[in-house]
Structure 1
Amino acid sequence: MPSPTMPSRKLLPPPPPPVHLRTWPGREALLADRTMAIRELNRRMLGGGRLTLFLLTLAGLQVGWAFIGGAIVSLDGLTDPLVAIAAGLAACLGLAAMVPLVIVVVLGIRQDGTLRARLLEWAALDPSPVHDARFRAPGMSLAWLLSAFVLCAAGLGLAFAVPALARPGDTTYPEVAYAMGAGLILWVHGLIGAAKAVAHRRLVLRLAA
């Protein structure tokens, strides 16, 4: 029978109950619930589903920027009003795709802070270190770190290589702006992933001591 303090996996584990409402029959029961809560909170922060959402959000941002960048490029030396209308529609579509995804990214960062704080509350219930392998999650932690490294490297390469290799007459300013924007999106997303991986590693070291 599941513990009354542990919710469904669809819900976020609540914070530990106040001292005067704690009804664990003993330390073993408390540690069992603490382990369950830490595992679930850690899964919400670092699990495969969260990494998939992270990468899908990046893909959506790049698609949105492609619409906007395409509109900017098409306006270079524009003389056809129909092309201008199409470019405006493309830019609107790009913004419509990017704005909600930026909000998703910001909310994800805020949720990570909430999850981390709640995990620390559960860990503080008992002075014993947290040695659970699912909490350390070395595989997922490495996946986040490698993904972040690839994104940062690709972003910096794109943002600097295209302007550096641009030649007057061959590469237009809108094309350079588009490449730099796409590179910036990759770089910022990579930094977010790297920060998550490093924060998790610090948390593991802190709670395993």
Structure 2
Amino acid sequence: MLVGVVSDIHANRIALEAVLDDMPPVDGLVCAGDVVGYNPWPADCVVRLRERSVPTVQGNHDRAVVTGTGFGGNGMADAGVKYARGALDDSHIEWLRGLPETRRCFDGRLKLVHGHPDDPDRYTYPGLFSPELLGDEDVLVMGHTHVQAIEQYDEGIVLNPGSVGQPRDGDPRAAYALVDLDSMTAERRRVEYDIEAVIEAVEEAGLPEGTGTRLRKGR
């Protein structure tokens, strides 16, 4: 069984479409949260996941949009949340509200969280990966850091697919991963997309300039 894994789409429809076009035929697709925030297409990204019934967990930006809370000193994050609340209709908000913090998929073999198995807001960078993160699942998927990484242990696989819509690992290409549950292997994937079109759309939406221009460097 081949599974596509995405995370941290952050309302970047152009990047999401590039990932879905690049992805080979899969038996399932999962998302580790933060569907919305930052970029100007929150509704489009929610609709794409809903129409495919993609198992998804709630990220911190998804939760902020639902609760109306902000991010303090992070102006770009705050602006993205406010924009999303104005762009999403009630059904989109309710879908985000209903997302759980943890999901188990494929007969419990894959566990999906946003930040860390014990704390959805904890950043778990690759240097913190270990087999101790695994429970009885074969594959643990985490997002939140926007840093793509895969570690394979005797006990199973720990991975972060990276960010579709706002990579922060120095590679501006949209990131995702593939997991083969039969062979118990995982693969990192990256795909080019039209970053300049996103920058233009960010400007037209009145979002902070840096939300778009940071995409050029993947930071």
Give the TM bin, normalised by the shorter chain.
Answer: under 0.3
Tell me which protein shows more strand as a share of its residues.
2
**Which structure is larger by alpha-carbon Rg, 1 or 2?**
1
- Give TM-score scaled by structure 1 length: 0.25
- Give TM-score scaled by structure 2 length: 0.24
